[in-house]
A and B are shown apart, each in its own frame.
Chain A
Amino acid sequence: MNKCELHDVSVQFGSHFALQDVSFQVRSAERVAFIGPSGAGKTSLFRLIHGVLSPTSGQVIIDETDVSHFSSRQWRPLRCEIGWIPQGFGLVPNLRVLHNVLAGRLGRMNSFQAARMFLVPNAKETAAVHHLLDRVGIAEKLYQRTDRLSAGQQQRVAIARALYQMPSLLLADEPVSNVDPARAEATLDLLCNVATEERITLCMSLHNLHLAKRYFERLIGIRRGRVIFDLPASDFNSEEYRQLYELDDAELLSDSYGD
């Protein structure tokens, strides 16, 4: 997968627009931060890019192919190429770390291969997972039960799972919203380094503008389901900040929070 484009995409739930006339293009190996208040539509955007949500109108184009109305079956091979780190990590709490990371490749397997991999992971698979865990800094947790790990460590498991998948595009939904500043920087260092080394396109939603400016080459601001700016990080200034975060009362009290 090389690039991903949205053309005038709207997503509507009843009379509420989660996204409205959104257009942008992400090139291969680009690092883009999506910033905006809670409930602005960032998660919907990511769900659109891996086909869990389909647009009400407009087009989602991946590598010159219009995937807006792909069926689940048509989406599967594409989804295998798209890594996903959800906000709650989406790990199975009572499995070992090893098995949670192995799950990253489930998309490329049939049921029998998947069952074999879970029950008797071979030496090569175990070594690959161990290597990735080493890279994210928790190699010694390989055989631990996942819910025994701290939130920060669990996040690293989720990152390792996404890397084991070997995606060409990695989507991360607010990976640093619940961690302290030092950990946030460590996580962003890790994700950005990996993305650069493996030439993975990285799209991340963030609240923290300073971090966004420091780690990303391009910032896309989203508010009330619309793109309000799309700039190189160096051009970002206080005017855009004001546009993005000066919420009116209606937005502050809106119940579309986190849709």
Chain B
Amino acid sequence: MPYRSPWPMPVGKIIITTVIIFGWAWWQLGLSIEQAIPNAGGLAKCQEFLGAAVAPAWTYESTPPSNSPFFLTKVGIAIWQTIVFSVAAVSLAFVIGLVWGITMSATWWGTNHVPQNAGRFKYRRTTVWLVVHLMRTVSALARSVHELLWAVLFLSAVGLSPLTVILAIGIPYSGVFAKIFSEIIDETPKQSADALHAIGATRWTVLVHGILPKAIPDMLAYTCYRFECGLRSAAVMGFFGIPTLGYYLQPAFEEQHYHETWTYLYALMAILIGVELWSAQVRRRLAT
């Protein structure tokens, strides 16, 4: 008897192809292990930086300008600003993504409700196909440009303001929300939707009362995760001059104030862990 793997797939071919592609990419980049070994000066810097991790700063490392706030106040403001930017950007993206996601779902257009044998829907199907694919293409375009690239685009076009930063994060996030929400809607079991459709509910009522109640917990769980990503993006946007964590992190690092740098890094970690704990609780409560 020939050997048969548990999966009805050409497992051997898949593994061999993966290994070849992997090796090819490394060879293309000319990677060698020396590239990751620092020289003596770099090694000292590394030690200094990593050493500072155990002792994050509680006050300024060098005397600050006379009217500066307390160091920890500054960290607090940075945390607060990071959260505010993330909340603003993600909630904007949530609303746009929800509407967009509904309109690009197969469920909304009813392509999986149409009786299989009904010829008169053929014309409608073509139109729907075009609309849905147009929406999906636009969503893919919005997603394929990273929020940092959007920020660079806005920076050169109109300069950066809180609004443009929120748009820079909000545009790709809307595209992601649209894609994920439409998938969640389409994957939600349809028994209740079919039952409501069968007793005369309109397409909109079927969606709102038969599908969304089941889909919304999943959507919110995903939004929590996106909020976490939003915090990281908002922190990085600080490099462009928005008063979030990155804005303070960058000069601290450049001036080799490593203890301060670690305080900012720990602050970012603390927010992310806080959001993770909170979203885990939200998800648990939504699931039961």
Contact = CB atoms under 8 A, between A and B. Distances in A.
Interface stretch (A28-36, A72-80, A124-132): A72-80
Interface residues on A, range: 35 or more
A88 B191 contact: yes
B115 interface: yes
Contact of B195 (A11, A13, A84): A84
Given A89-B191, A109-B205, A77 B117 contact: no
Nearest to A104: B199
Contacts of B196: 90, 103, 106-107
Contacts of A50: 198-199
A108 B205 CA distance: 11
A59 interface: no
Contacts of B116: 13
Given A86-B194, A92-B210, A118-B209, A106 B117 contact: no
Count class of interface residues, chain B? 20 to 34
B208 A90 contact: no
A107 B210 CA distance: 12
Nearest to B288: A145
A106 B205 contact: yes
Given A79-B200, A92-B210, A53 B117 contact: yes
Interface string A88-131: 11111111000000011011111100110010000000000000
B195 A86 contact: yes
A106 B209 contact: yes
B213 interface: yes
A82 interface: yes
A124 B197 CA distance: 25
A90 B115 contact: no
A79 B199 contact: yes
Interface string A1-17: 00000000001110000
Nearest to A87: B191
B208 A94 contact: no
A175 interface: no
A23 interface: no
A52 B197 contact: yes
Nearest to B199: A107
Given A54-B115, A103-B209, A80 B200 contact: yes
Contact of B209 (A12, A75, A108, A114): A114
A91 B194 CA distance: 10
Given A54-B115, A92-B192, A106 B199 contact: yes
B127 to A, nearest CB: 16
A44 to B, nearest CB: 10
Nearest to B193: A90
A111 B117 contact: no
Highest count of chain A CB atoms <10 Å: which of B201, B204, B210 = B201
B201 to A, nearest CB: 4
Contacts of A104: 199
Interface in B86-137: 115-118, 120
B191 A86 contact: yes
A59 B262 CA distance: 77
A155 interface: no
Interface string B132-144: 0000000000000
B271 to A, nearest CB: 30
Interface in B176-205: 191-192, 194-202, 204-205
Contacts of B199: 50, 79-80, 82-84, 104, 106-107, 165
A1 B202 CA distance: 21
Given A52-B194, A104-B199, A114-B205, 14 more contacts: A13-B116, A52-B197, A56-B117, A69-B120, A79-B198, A83-B199, A86-B195, A90-B192, A90-B195, A92-B192, A94-B217, A103-B201, A107-B196, A111-B208
17 contacts: A53-B115, A54-B115, A54-B118, A56-B117, A76-B202, A80-B200, A82-B198, A86-B191, A90-B192, A93-B214, A94-B213, A95-B213, A103-B209, A106-B199, A107-B196, A110-B202, A115-B208
